[in-house]
Each structure stands twice: as structure tokens, then as C-alpha cells.
A and B are shown apart, each in its own frame.
Chain A
Amino acid sequence: MLPPILGVLFDGIAYGMLLFVLSVGLSVTLGLMNFVNLAHCAFAMIGGYVTVTLVNSYGWPFLATLPAAFIAAAVTSVVLERLLYRRLYRASDLDQVLLTIGLAFISVSVAAYFFGTLQQPVETPAMLRGSIEFLGLGLGKYRLFLIGVALMVTLALVIGLEYTRFGAKVRAAVDNQRMARGLGIDVDWTFATTFALGCGLAGLGGALAIEIVGLDPNFSFTYLVYVLIVVSVGGLGSIAGSFAAAMLIGISDIAGKYYVPELGAFLIYLVMVVVLMWKPAGLFGKR
């Protein structure tokens, strides 16, 4: 058996990585356009269902479905962004909240209509099943894989945002949108692209999440809360912040469920409220 503390830490880190992949897109788009997108997890759910369908009905290997999940979520987001979201960039918080809650409600019903309300199983390849022994710890292979993917995503994001021309435009637009427009940066286009990438990442996260937390039509709302917590605790538009917050929330959630199960999700809500009262812009947020 695992020594409890290290084992809990490992599970918490893997869970935190999952939350990071799910939420980093929202963090960047929120920071960029201040658009409160409560339908973010609906895009994650699209990714999850694409993976489930391709694996179970078409016999694709699990790993090959991950890019498909990314692309499906990204394409859907582009369509919705052009049709609905972009009309509300200048609208109030309330209108944005209502539109996106509406989309999340629709996603729940559509998923229930096509896939039923049961948890969807997915078969992972043999090489990701079981666990390996390392220094006396039994580490789940899938969780190791998850951590690896999340680290790769982080690396790609950091390189993409810090060292490319596109990344420079995104950072400029997050820091000062008006100035960025003045310098001739097409902020709307930048936002549309970032939005698609962020939603694609959510789709990837949704596909990766099936094995850990399962997938049912309520995914849109169950994980929305976690994602919003990560984003608001980490600070808008900050990748490092999202990463730190995802770790904090992942580890405290798993540890809370492990050591004081009677508290339930109480602990992470408390963490969120306390952090926000201490620093309303999040741990790494800029004011």
C-alpha cells in the first residue's frame, strides 16, 4: 500500500494537473476579454464525448482520440464564438453569465439526449493500466501519463506565449487592450484564436478526465465550479497562477476527501472564499 501522505500528494498532483488542463483556457480568455464563460466545461464535455464515441463505436485507440477531442471542442467554440459570444464582448457581466449558463444548460440536455444519463466508460490502452513501483510507491500509470501530458501542455503554452509573435500579441492584449488596439494588433482575431485554443484544451482535459472522474451529462456543471475556483484563485490571464491554483485545489481536495471525508467539498470552497477575500484578483492576478 502507499504511504498515505506521498500517495495522497501524488493523486492530488495528478488531479491538479487535470484541473489545470481543464481551466487554463478559461483563465487566458477571461483575462483577455473579461468574458465570463460559464460554458467552458461544456466544451470539455464535447471532448469527453468525442473520445467516448470514437473509442467505443469506431474502435479508435484512446491516444488517437485525444487530438480529435481537442479539434472538436475548438471547432465548436469557433462556431459559437462567431455566432453568439462576440456580440456580447461589451455587454454586462450579467448578460455574459446568462448566455453561457444557457449554453451549459443546453449542453447538459443534448448530452443526455444522445448518450443517456449514465456514466460513460472508456477503455484505455493496456500500457496505461496498472501501476509501476517506484521507491516503494505504487504510481498509477494513467496518472503518470496525465502528469506528463499536463507538463507538455504547460511547456507548450509557456513557449507559445513567451517566445512567439502570437504570444506577444496575446500578452499585450491582456495587459492593455486599448493600447494593443492602438498599436495595430487585431485584438478580436487574437481573442477568437485564443478562445478556440482554450476551448480545445478544455476538450482535451475532458477526454483525459473520463478515466479519473468519469463522464456524464452533468459534467458541464460539476466541474465548472472547480474550474472557476482555479481561475479566480489563480488570477486572470496568468498561466503560472492557474498552475499554482490547480495544484493547491487538486491537492487540498484530494487530501480533504482522504483525511476528513465528512467535510466533503467544504474545504476547497473555503480555500476559494478566503483567497478571494484576501486577494480579489487572485494569487497571481494583476490589478
Chain B
Amino acid sequence: MSPPVTPVTPQSYLLARGRWHPLEIVFWLATLLPFVLFPNYLSLASQIAITALFALSLDIILGYAGVVSLGHAAFFGIGAYSAGLFSKYVWGEPFSGLLVAATLAGILGYATSFIIARFRHLPLIMITLGLGLLAHEVANSAHWLTGGSDGLQGVRTQPLFGVFRFDLYGKTAYAYSLGVLFIVFLCTRRLINSPFGLALRGIRENWNRMPAIGADSRAHIRKAYTIAAIIAGICGALLTQTTNSASLESISFQRSADVLVMLVLGGAGKLYGGLVGAAIFMVARDQFSGIAPQFWYFWIGVLLVAVVMFLPNGILGGLAKITARWRRPP
């Protein structure tokens, strides 16, 4: 006799997903620990928070909607440069810079989303790669505006709320990045646990079937892509504001590839996958590059092969499997 099955309605499923797990609260409290435990590593912590947010934005399109992008750094770079130029020529107030960066990245994301939503599989990978490289070339050749390979100099960010200066130790930088990460995370969490988020997952699983049950795949992909672009723009702006510079590195293929690695390492299609992946990746890079910087990518390569071969759902997926087995012994 199998136990009676209670019918799961979409509403109750989403509500159950939206409930906060105690581990999540522990996770967010733990993000405050660097203030106390590692006061010398706060600038690294702030970089991690920014990268984690970037991975989260990729997760929306890659993990949930199933759109593989090799050019996501384009929006990061657009955010970085627009925030830098805004504070250099207009006004150095950080929040308005974030807004400008998010708006510009969003407009460009919306414009390119019409291209993205038309393609799947290899042409899609190639087009995202091509658009990312194009953005990199534009930033490289517009030397008069972006400073080209020398990077954008002379960015001055005013104190946060007019009170907290961005100090050398990165205390303000980390608080600022973490705050933005948390707020955007809450919005993303709400988005993913909404009917819209459910539709995205449906598109990932079966692109052709979703329109048949009344959810236009392309329109959903366009929206998701625009949202991801906005968040990526915010990340770029955060990096510029906390480091007072913007470089070509922020728009490079390397960054697109790195964020993909982090997301997959942590587990794509899970809200915390990108966050965990970014933290592990950045800390490991910080430690390894002290020993042998040129071989860092060897280990990244080995890790990637291992994850694809043995941990198809990333670290979080692997952990979930282990705990599931532990709870229900066969």
C-alpha cells in the first residue's frame, strides 16, 4: 500500500518554495562574519559579494531559463563603464550611479534579448559569444571614452549616504556590496518563486511545450534576459564604485567564462548555487594565485572536468543528494 498522495497545486508548491529555511538565515548571518573575523580581507569579501551577485544574474537566464550565455560580461562591463563615466563627469553619488548603470544595461539587454530569444543551442552560444566579443572590442577601440587598455582613470565615488567614506580596508565597500547583494537576492528569490519563475523552469525543460499551455517562451526569455542584464549592470557598477576604476578586464571573455565556472561549480538552477560557487572560486583564487598564479587555471580546468563528470548539479546538488540519502536510508 502506498501512502495517499496529496495533490500538489502550483500555488502550494510555490508557497512551499518561498518559505525561508533556517539554513538560509544562517547563511546570511554568516555573511556578516568577515567584519569580525577577517577585517583584513574585507576588500576580497566585497569582491566576492559582487561576483556572487553576478553569478546570481547568470543563474536567472542559465540556471532557470536554460539560456547558455558566453557573453554575460558585456552587461557587467557596460555597468562598470557607465557608472565610472557617470561619477567622473556627472556626479559621484553611488546610488544614482547604480541606477544609471542598471538602466543602461537594462536597455541594452532588452535590445539584444530580441536576438537571444530567437535562437537555441549552438547558434545561441555563438551569438552570445559574438556579442560579448563585440562589446569588448567597442570598449577597447573607444579609447577616448573608456581609456582602452589603460582602464578608466579618475573615478571618484562620494561617500555612501554622504557619511560613510570608501576606505582602504573595504569596510564600507563590503557593507555596500553585501547590502545590494541582499536586496537584489530578495527580489530574485521572489521572482523565481513566482509563476513567472515557474514558467522559466518550464521553458528550460521543454521549450516547445510552454507556448502550448499558454506561456510564450520568447516573451519570457526576453524578460528574464533583461532582468539578468540589469543585475549584471548593477554588479559592474558596484565593482567600479568600490575600486574607483574600470578596466577592460570587466568586459572580457575571461569574466564571462569565470562566472559560468562559478555558477556550475556551485550548482546552476539553485538560488544559492552562484553565491556558494563565487565564494569558493574567489577564495581559492586568492589563495592559489599567491603560490603559482599561472597554474590557477589548470586547477579550474580539472575542477570543471570533475564537476561535469561526477557532480552534474554542482556542489549544492551533490550535498542535496547526500542529505536526501541520509534522511531516507534505502
Chain A positions within 8 Å of B, measured between CB atoms, are 30, 34, 36, 84, 87-88, 91, 93-95, 97-99, 101-110, 112-113, 117, 221, 225, 228-229, 232, 236, 262-266, 269-270, 272-273, 276-277, 280-281
Contacts and interface: CB of A to CB of B under 8 A. Distances in A.
B304 A105 contact: yes
B127 interface: yes
A229 B141 CA distance: 21
B305 interface: yes
Contacts of A110: 298
Contacts of A277: 115, 118, 127
Q: What does DSSP make chain A's interface, helix, strand, loop or mixed?
A: helix
- Of residues B119, B261, B305, which shows the largest number of chain A Cβ atoms within 10 Å of its Cβ? B305
Contacts of B123: 232, 276, 280-281
Contacts of B126: 228-229, 232, 272, 276
B327 interface: no
- Of residues A98, A110, A117, A276, which shows the largest number of chain B Cβ atoms within 10 Å of its Cβ? A98
A269 B131 CA distance: 8
Please name the 8 residue pairs, one residue from A and one from B, whose CB atoms are nearest each other, closest first: A102-B304, A105-B301, A109-B298, A106-B301, A280-B123, A232-B126, A102-B301, A266-B137
Contact of B294 (A95, A112, A262): A112
B133 interface: yes
A109 B304 contact: no
B127 A262 contact: no
Contact of B130 (A105, A108, A262, A269): A269
A273 B127 contact: yes
A214 B160 CA distance: 49
Interface in B100-138: 115, 118-119, 121-123, 125-127, 129-131, 133-134, 137-138
B68 A265 contact: no
Nearest to B308: A99
Contacts of A88: 308
B130 A102 contact: no
B312 A98 contact: no
Given A99-B308, A103-B305, A280-B123, A273 B131 contact: yes
B221 interface: no
14 contacts: A98-B261, A105-B298, A109-B295, A109-B296, A229-B126, A236-B122, A263-B137, A263-B141, A265-B133, A265-B137, A266-B137, A269-B130, A276-B123, A280-B119
Nearest to B62: A94
A30 B122 contact: yes
Contact of A98 (B118, B130, B294, B308): B308
Contact of A270 (B68, B134, B312): B134
